[in-house]
């Protein structure tokens, strides 16, 4: 069975979509572990589903965070690491070791509105401030840059008149919940 680790920092709604699709058999993988870099509902969500989960607090581990993540995912025999709203930056040594085996979901049409400081609601605020007519979400491989890796899939979402950042965020999140499992499925089929 193809094993994935999901790294979270927030509510874990993308994690939930992965769990549901793997339990239904729509996604041919097992969520082997969930790692949070802070206390968050995503870790609780995993525990409620009986999935091995842990918190590796970024404030405690600091520069050792990636070494600790590596230890956990290696012990679990993980095939793919999925960053689903994970806000800590992964270091170059970790990226090199897991090259081609780490993906991230980002709430914009990369390369637009990506990079340092572009996460969560900030992305949607920037899209609206720029007067964009469309936005969306992107799943990409993680490389040593921030939001700069090879794109796997993107979905466009229209920016509607009167949208607030929160409304746009919710509309894009609906698409994220489909796009992330679709991307994982593509990777599994190519292995």
**Each residue's pLDDT tens digit, 41-98:** 999 999 999 999 999 999 999 999 999 999 999 999 999 999 999 999 899 999 999 9
pLDDT value for 156: 98
In this prediction, residues 141-156 reach a mean pLDDT of 96
pLDDT value for 179: 98
What is the C-alpha to C-alpha distance for residues 17 and 108, in angstroms, rounded to an integer? 19
Q: Would you say 42 and 10 are in contact if contact means Cβ atoms under 8 Å apart?
A: yes
What is the C-alpha to C-alpha distance for residues 124 and 142, in angstroms, rounded to an integer? 21
User: Hey, which residues are catalytic here?
Assistant: 106
pLDDT value for 191: 86
- The pLDDT confidence band at residue 11, using thresholds 50, 70 and 90, is very high
59 annotated binding-site participant:
no
Domain of residue 99: give its range. 2-190
Closest by CA position to 84, among listed 9, 159, 141, 171 = 9
As a whole number, the mean pLDDT across the chain is 96
14 annotated binding-site participant:
yes
- Other beta carbons within 10 Å of 31: 23
Q: How many domains does the chain have?
A: 1
62 annotated binding-site participant:
yes
């Amino acid at each position: 069975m193809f094993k994935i680790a999901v790294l979270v920092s927030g509510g874990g709604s993308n994690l939930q979509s992965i769990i549901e699709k793997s339990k239904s058999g729509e996604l041919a993988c097992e969520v082997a572990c969930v790692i949070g870099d802070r206390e968050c509902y995503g870790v609780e969500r995993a525990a409620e589903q009986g999935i091995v989960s842990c918190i590796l607090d970024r404030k405690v581990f600091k520069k050792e965070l990636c070494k600790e993540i590596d230890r956990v995912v290696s012990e679990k025999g993980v095939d793919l690491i999925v960053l689903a709203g994970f806000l800590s930056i992964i270091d170059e040594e970790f990226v090199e070791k897991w090259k081609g085996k780490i993906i991230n979901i980002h709430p914009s049409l990369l390369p637009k509105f990506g990079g340092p400081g572009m996460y969560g609601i900030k992305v949607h605020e920037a899209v609206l401030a720029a007067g964009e007519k469309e936005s969306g979400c992107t799943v990409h491989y993680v490389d040593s840059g921030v939001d700069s890796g090879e794109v796997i899939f993107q979905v466009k979402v229209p920016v509607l008149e009167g949208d607030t950042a929160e409304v746009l965020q919710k509309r894009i999140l609906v698409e994220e919940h489909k796009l992330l499992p679709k991307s994982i499925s593509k990777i599994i089929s190519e292995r």
